[in-house]
Structure 1
Amino acid sequence: MHNDRLSLPTPTVHKIRRLTTGVLGAALLSTALAFGPVAPLTAMAGPTPDGFADLVQKVSPAVVMITTTQTVEAPTQAQPIFPDGSPFSDLFKDFPFQNMPGGEDGSPRQPRHAQALGSGFVISEDGYIVTNNHVIENADKIQIKFYDGSLLDAKLIGTDKKTDIALLKVKTDKPLPFINFGDSDKARVGDWVLAMGNPLGQDFSASAGIISARNRELSGTYDDYLQTDAAINQGNSGGPLFDMNGEVIGVNTAILSPNGGSIGIGFSMASNVVKKVTDQLKEFGETRRGWLGVKIQEVTPDMAEAMNLPKAEGALVSEVPDGPAKDAGIKAGDVITSFDGSPVKSSRDLVKRVADAPVEQKVRVTVMRDGKEQTLLVTLGRRETAETGSDKGTDKPAPSQKDQVLGMQLESLTDETAAQLGMPAGSTGLVVADIDENSTAFDKGLRQGDVIVEAGQKPVTAVADLNAQIKAAKDGGRKSVLLLVRRENEPRFLALPLD
């Protein structure tokens, strides 16, 4: 969605990409000087710590550098090479080229090996290591380098693309220093944090900052990011974000940046999400998320009034295909208000809690139907199995009809549309199906094919959600509403005037 170079000149979110050794060789080294878990530090008193040296010294032995090697096929056709943005690129892009000989003797070109670097951290003395999936994706060989310079080959245990987490394992004849996961739910905005990794080709590096925000959602159904202003850059991917007790509360994954460098807006996947994923990868080699088998959407205030609900909470069931929910008697039009004994605040809340529940577990689901509560017993299925069958895409907000808002014709995102726009299955939002070129939205850079993911920092899955946020902004005396917009799955914030 970056085809229009003049539109949306605001910062964009970049994955913290792997660095090739020929461009920016990064190296975060870790030692095995201390054995067993890193001892936690006493929380620093006062608003500002005296320094981070003790913390760095304690945790650094468990932080590692990850080098991957991948075989890249040689091109079969000649391609002219011009600088990015060169007018010659457009001039020659439509011209066919003859097959490219491998050399002066005409021999075929051979596949080449590309290297990339990232970060990770050891979570057990027997050699389990956590990193990002995008650090090791498609790698033929994975190697871990420790602080003392020793190298160990790593085996891929499993990955989870939905949270961008991968679990590796090295064989070792001695216990490795490791670090523990902390409770990310206890992290507060304003708490000090320490990020460690291999930024921009530099050796081991530590940077400090605070938690700027919690519960950020960037690209997936199960996202739960901590936002931090600690400097993280390309090469920090997969590295840990520590609290002041020396426990990992996040895995550094993405940054908001206009140029790929740190501007103080970084995102770390919350440790409580990561730990659940790594536990499953360690036990099964894959994730096993619970599956209810419903299509759901948010309950808006208008819906709550129309349905005589006391609050605009819960998850409205719009469709029930064959699956656990249908077998248990859940129907379209039900509003799920409680899952496994705890209230359901929103559709996203329900999706996460269902995913965290064990497969084949029997849970009580309370629904509002015709103004009365009913409790049903549901045996959960497995999300990954459902996604490979005809029921793919359930347990997510359902599509709505097109509608006009501020000069834009909007429709809810479907899996089919998401695939066309380069977004993962399960993504939610509002697609700009058409836009008035005389509208303020167009002037601000919105284009057909953009996906509005959030408005007023609240997720939107239906036009009613966007209208509700617009109304809330106006009622609050604001002249614009903050939108999170995705183009080619790259998110950007945009303040859209309401006049």
Structure 2
Amino acid sequence: MKRIGLTLLTAFVGGAMALGTYKVIENKYADNMGFDEKQQVYYASNRMTPNIVSSAGEVDFTQAAAAVTPAVVYIRTTYSSSSDPRQSEFERMFGDMFGQRMPQRSQPQMASGSGVIISPDGYIVTNNHVVSKADKIEITTNDHRRFKAKVIGTDPNTDLALIKIDAENLPIVKLGNSDEAKVGEWVLAVGNPFNLTSTVTAGIVSAKGRGIGIIGSEDNSDDNPFGPTRMSNEPKVRTGIESFIQTDAAINPGNSGGALVNTKGELIGINSAIASHTGSYEGYGFAIPINLAKKVLNDIKKYGAVKRGMIGVSFADLSEAYKTPGINTDKTNGLYITGVLPNSGGAAAGLKEGDIITKVEGTTVYESSDLQERVARLQPGDKINLTVLRGNAEKNVTVTLKPENATGTRTASVPRSATELYNKLGASFMPLTQSQKAKFRVTNGVVVTQVREGGIFDQADLPSGTVITSINKQPINNVNDIDKAITNLRNGMLTIGGYYPDGTRFNNTFSVDE
């Protein structure tokens, strides 16, 4: 009996050690998972309600609404008077999708919007314009819990932002496949319009691949994955990457950042804008396709900023509205190449001015968004297959995308608690690699991967590529070290030490308003 008992004890201890080791490895691996992989693990353990029908089946939205609503959150943002975004012409034309602006007599200013939980450990997707320049971001979940949110990173080129709350075992919305969404398919819009939390509306997909010219307005080649967007004799165009899903599901102010889902309860888009003369719903809403969002969000989580590949061409649509003198073709569908950057991926593939891009990955190109969205999903070094018309002959060309030449993506976001102060810094960070440590001759530090407009780093001209080695005389190796250091303020002063990208050392002190 003693021998049997000893054997059982040994087996139990061995099993416990094996399980503990597995859990350590599992947790370490989970930190490096993409959102798709995390969701696969989640749904392997949390089966969705069976027999949810598609839009081709019975018109019953109850199960999809029940599956999605718990994971759509209410976002309330607070702004100082200096950072409060004022109403622009864009807002008047397309509706105040920056959220419901509270009465401006009260201080500080407030706004609200929506977000979607996509990972059980607290990652939330929303619009960049929902959290842009916010001093404080508060999340209210469907079960009325409240959290302070931290901005992980933003991408104004797609109007997406990734934020995070400190929570576990949260309900999530299953990521779908926006490529499979069909025009005429039933969809649900879930969000918080006019402060009416957990609101579900129904409609259909009205169109796909819509470019409505509301993201970006500057002719900035650094922010555009295609290189320059116009030649000197071309009209100015916007730099944003737009390929919206258009829907007639009712979307109103406060829906921004909310979920557009199919009747299987799968997330196919992030609600972003409305076309309206009044600022309220008039039948036209627009959502960012989730297949584009996946790439952007995974990049932000992994790198702190979006890594984009670039073809390196400028082009004009072949529609009558954009036809310019010198373009002689009978074709009405496609993109006319007006210029090719030297040493770009397009140049290496043999693309020339005057070529017409007719297909991308075998799919006909009707307008610029058909190409832009496909390229925006890819990384530098990825290949994309184009069909181009040169003269009267079509040829297939494979382009290897090259990194964009931006010195850093500047976006928007900004601050009491460690989370609020972190947001006030207005930057994203990654730990230094061994080669970076050797380059700057340091043993610790983080590198700035993104600077957001209006934050401390922006105001202090600390660009992307800056190395931060200390905050308030505490050594910095990761984001957790930053959280600890910024709560150790003395008389509201914050001292940041490190190196500019060129290796020049700095040690700057800033006043942080209480």
TM-score (norm 1): 0.55
Deviates more, 1:49-58 or 1:372-381: 372-381
Query: Residues of 2 paired with 1:50 and 1:378: CA distance?
Result: 44
> Residue 62 and residue 37 in structure 1: after superposition, are their counterparts in 2 closer, same or farther (change >3 A)?
farther
Query: Residues of 1 paired with 2:179 and 2:83: CA distance?
Result: 47
Q: Does the 8 Å CA contact 1:364/1:376 hold for their aligned counterparts? A: yes
Superposed displacement of residue 201, structure 1? 2.1
The answer to whether the aligner puts 1:70 opposite 2:89 as a matched pair is no
Equivalent residue pairs, number:
317
> Residue 309 and residue 51 in structure 1: after superposition, are their counterparts in 2 closer, same or farther (change >3 A)?
closer
The answer to whether the aligner puts 1:321 opposite 2:330 as a matched pair is no
> Residue 266 and residue 327 in structure 1: after superposition, are their counterparts in 2 closer, same or farther (change >3 A)?
closer
Matched letter for residue 241 of structure 1: L
Question: What's the secondary structure of 2:255's corresponding residue?
Answer: coil
Q: 1:293 aligns with which of 312, 317, 327?
A: 312
Q: Which residue does the alignment assign to 2:67?
A: 58
The answer to whether the aligner puts 1:170 opposite 2:165 as a matched pair is yes
Query: Residues of 2 paired with 1:285 and 1:74: CA distance?
Result: 23
* Matches for 1:17-166 after TM superposition, within 5 Å: 39=48, 42-44=51-53, 49=58, 51-73=60-82, 112-166=107-161
Superposed displacement of residue 237, structure 1? 1.1
Matched letter for residue 154 of structure 1: A
Q: Does the 8 Å CA contact 1:158/1:286 hold for their aligned counterparts? A: yes
> Residue 311 and residue 39 in structure 1: after superposition, are their counterparts in 2 closer, same or farther (change >3 A)?
same
Superposed displacement of residue 364, structure 1? 5.9
Q: Which residue does the alignment assign to 1:282?
A: 301
Deviation readout 1:408-448 (Å, 9 max, x if unpaired): xxxxxxxxxxxxxxxxxxxxxxxxxxxxxxxxxxxxxxxxx
Superposed displacement of residue 64, structure 1? 0.8
Superposed displacement of residue 175, structure 1? 1.4
Q: Which residue does the alignment assign to 2:377?
A: 356
TM-score (norm 2): 0.54
Deviates more, 1:213-222 or 1:290-299: 213-222
* Matches for 1:47-446 after TM superposition, within 5 Å: 49=58, 51-73=60-82, 112-172=107-167, 174-219=168-213, 220=215, 221-299=240-318, 313-324=333-344, 325-337=346-358, 347-362=368-383, 367-369=388-390, 371=392, 378-383=399-404, 385=406
- Higher share of residues assigned helix: 2
Query: Residues of 2 paired with 1:128 and 1:74: CA distance?
Result: 25
Question: What's the secondary structure of 1:190's corresponding residue?
Answer: coil
Matched letter for residue 178 of structure 1: I
Which stretches in structure 1 are left out of the alignment for 5+ residues?
Answer: 1-33, 76-110, 389-499
Question: What's the secondary structure of 2:80's corresponding residue?
Answer: strand
Question: What's the secondary structure of 2:69's corresponding residue?
Answer: helix
Query: Residues of 1 paired with 2:166 and 2:142: CA distance?
Result: 17
Question: What's the secondary structure of 1:259's corresponding residue?
Answer: coil
> Residue 65 and residue 296 in structure 1: after superposition, are their counterparts in 2 closer, same or farther (change >3 A)?
same
Query: Residues of 2 paired with 1:250 and 1:142: CA distance?
Result: 22
Q: Does the 8 Å CA contact 1:167/1:278 hold for their aligned counterparts? A: yes
Superposed displacement of residue 187, structure 1? 2.0
Superposed displacement of residue 210, structure 1? 2.4
Q: Does the 8 Å CA contact 1:40/1:246 hold for their aligned counterparts? A: no
Q: Does the 8 Å CA contact 2:54/2:264 hold for their aligned counterparts? A: no
Deviation readout 1:36-59 (Å, 9 max, x if unpaired): 667255344787856433333222
Query: Residues of 2 paired with 1:35 and 1:148: CA distance?
Result: 24
> Residue 127 and residue 322 in structure 1: after superposition, are their counterparts in 2 closer, same or farther (change >3 A)?
same
Deviation readout 1:160-189 (Å, 9 max, x if unpaired): 2122111111122x3111111211222223
Query: Residues of 1 paired with 2:184 and 2:361: CA distance?
Result: 33
> Residue 204 and residue 363 in structure 1: after superposition, are their counterparts in 2 closer, same or farther (change >3 A)?
closer
> Residue 294 and residue 243 in structure 1: after superposition, are their counterparts in 2 closer, same or farther (change >3 A)?
same
Query: Residues of 1 paired with 2:164 and 2:406: CA distance?
Result: 26
Question: What's the secondary structure of 1:178's corresponding residue?
Answer: coil
Query: Residues of 2 paired with 1:329 and 1:50: CA distance?
Result: 51
Question: What's the secondary structure of 2:297's corresponding residue?
Answer: helix
Query: Residues of 2 paired with 1:341 and 1:290: CA distance?
Result: 20
Q: Does the 8 Å CA contact 2:154/2:162 hold for their aligned counterparts? A: yes
Which stretches in structure 2 are left out of the alignment for 5+ residues?
Answer: 1-42, 85-105, 216-239, 410-514
Query: Residues of 1 paired with 2:118 and 2:193: CA distance?
Result: 21
Question: What's the secondary structure of 1:385's corresponding residue?
Answer: coil
Query: Residues of 2 paired with 1:118 and 1:254: CA distance?
Result: 12
Query: Residues of 2 paired with 1:191 and 1:183: CA distance?
Result: 13
Deviates more, 1:213-222 or 1:267-276: 213-222
Structure 1 vs Structure 2 CA RMSD: 3.6
Deviation readout 1:451-483 (Å, 9 max, x if unpaired): xxxxxxxxxxxxxxxxxxxxxxxxxxxxxxxxx
Q: Does the 8 Å CA contact 2:243/2:370 hold for their aligned counterparts? A: no
